[in-house]
Structure 1
């Protein structure tokens, strides 16, 4: 699924008008598709409900007039609420008149207009930016305070479809029906938190109306294509050797999580290289992997002499996970530098591995092998010396520019994790807030490393790992709750979920 800005989708629609369809036809298709989606989702509740379709005076209102008429004809007690002046644009005006002719009542907005069971928000759609002028500030407030279930068409009113910024009292939807494609507001904070559940409806715009190069969502079908069937005569060497250079005494669990995740993701052999004091702690939790205990310093992290062990282990590995729980000091920084400069196989650089290159990211350009960097927003902010808020306001742009400049694959974690190589951009939609806890990043790194060890390209491995990692969070939350899951609960889902990709 493509992700477009407001201007980009307008260009697509203009091309469609030139080649295939009139604006009125497309508006009718959009309104009808949204109506069908509403009925499909709320059929059991909406027939006996009061529905208020809130409309502005732009083209989003035209969709609303179509929805209101179709709901009325279906037997729903639906009304139109005009939030500004009556429509003047030809196409919305035509559908407004059709709705009135069908018997739909229309009223100008008052404070009691929001007394409904459902509110369909067709006030602005993708046309909003800046702050809400009167009377829309009062309209938005009334919608949010109504207690009604709110369905927004295209994007919630008060959200900027391109930047993801929101105004004061922006409409907070329970359900958003995106038309044709996703918009940036659906995946970009803070607007993505105002969308509720999101679905996308197809209104028949032909593919040749779109240009190449838009960001896309990671889809199940594309993930499945990345997994080759397993040969009947396979052995443990057939599925790769994964080396996890992780852990310290204080954070031995990071390596445990990365290693368990790698084994559950199908790597043939997984070896955990860790400081010797962390070895018995990790071994108590890991009975099916290999270990490479190393010398340590007084802080019980990797010492400088761990570099000689790393030199031996690099020859064995098909993929490397570097950094989970290693801590940041002079010794670990030197170890990371050595591995980055000398590895010939793809590296997943995560957590303290990322922190170890703060202030000297030019080292990334010296790496011979493909590298996947997996920062969360704060780690990204440290890397490029910008506030976290600025990162979050420009997630796709920031990620794409950094990946291109440093010739890496970047996984910018968070809600709607971004995967980019500086050219192609993919956005993930699996996952949920229950995953906001320590250790989930270690799990993601272990999965990605395992996919690389089995022969995937680093870019495909990053995409697939992000998608499946989110599925694990969704499945664990479904079985338990969104407040009480552990990373181990997510790892427990991996084996069964992998069956969907065979």
Structure 2
């Protein structure tokens, strides 16, 4: 008996919520993205624009101060909150938590992020949970020390196979059924929502499991995972954790397929940002 569901347009259409035509700025979500480093300046920018594309109203982007000027030139649509060092420190976390609005609905942490000690990351996670922000954790922030701080919170984690092993000590095989069993088991044990990225993208909260096949090998280009994380973080302001992951995977993959049909294997991740509205608009709903 099949123990998972396929992510498809019918499922997505059932999940999508209407936007009130009377809504005001902020009603449709406020998202925080924390990432970046001296080397990986682009990751939080891709994530932040993707969060805006998800339909969230405001995105605050916390990045190292050394990346501030080029980041502002990249986009006028983001609100930047620079931290003073090229790594996230405990002092920077305290200032960040005191600076951001108290109405942050969700936060994506880790895209390109470098931190001085694990304690600074843990302080950030604890502080955001205390503020009732829903969390997505990705990339460099996926270290074993976070698990005891996010257990039973339905926090979203988005590892590829190597990051999954770093977190849990188990390396997923290439066999789909075995991947599903492992992801479901770990999600259940820790009270998390896990999105394992790869040829098969597997989403599970331990009870429900969904599978989405990668739409094109062009999606292996760097940055597509950062865009997925931004989409999911944006959706987390309005949707439960597993639905946010499903929507992010579906639209990221469909945008990638459209670009592949235009450009072949020559896409770059930022191409997705321009393509996302085209694949999303047919699912838009507006209510009174």
Question: TM-score, normalised to structure 1's length?
Answer: 0.53
Corresponding residue for 1:496?
Answer: 278
Q: Per the alignment, do residues 314 and 377 of structure 1 end up closer, same or farther by CA in structure 2, a change over 3 Å counting?
A: farther
Whole-Å separation in 2 of the counterparts to 1:335 and 1:310: 11
Matches within 5 A, 1:101-500: 214-296=3-85, 300-312=86-98, 313=100, 315-330=102-117, 333-342=118-127, 343=129, 344-354=132-142, 357-358=143-144, 361-365=147-151, 369-387=153-171, 389=173, 394-429=178-213, 431-453=215-237, 455-481=238-264, 483-500=265-282
**1:316 aligns to what SS in structure 2?**
coil
Q: How big is the alpha-carbon RMSD for the aligned residues of Structure 1 and Structure 2? A: 1.9
**1:257–1:439 Cα contact (<8 Å) kept:** yes
Q: Per the alignment, do residues 360 and 311 of structure 1 end up closer, same or farther by CA in structure 2, a change over 3 Å counting?
A: closer
**1:430–1:467 Cα contact (<8 Å) kept:** no
For structure 2, list consecutive stretches of 5 or more residues without a partner in the other structure: none
Question: TM-score, normalised to structure 2's length?
Answer: 0.91
Shift of 1:359: 5.3
For structure 1, list consecutive stretches of 5 or more residues without a partner in the other structure: 5-213
Whole-Å separation in 1 of the counterparts to 2:81 and 2:223: 22
Whole-Å separation in 2 of the counterparts to 1:251 and 1:404: 33
Q: Per the alignment, do residues 314 and 418 of structure 1 end up closer, same or farther by CA in structure 2, a change over 3 Å counting?
A: farther
**1:431–1:469 Cα contact (<8 Å) kept:** no
Whole-Å separation in 2 of the counterparts to 1:387 and 1:430: 19
Whole-Å separation in 2 of the counterparts to 1:412 and 1:317: 26
**2:40–2:113 Cα contact (<8 Å) kept:** yes
Larger radius of gyration: 1
Whole-Å separation in 2 of the counterparts to 1:246 and 1:398: 28
Q: Which has the higher contact order (CA 8 A, sep 6+)?
A: 2
Equivalent pairs counted in the alignment come to 280
Instruction: Provide, for residues 316-360 of structure 1, a one-character-per-residue CA deviation record: whole Å limited to 9, x for no partner.
Output: 310100110112541xx2232123223212101000111xx2356
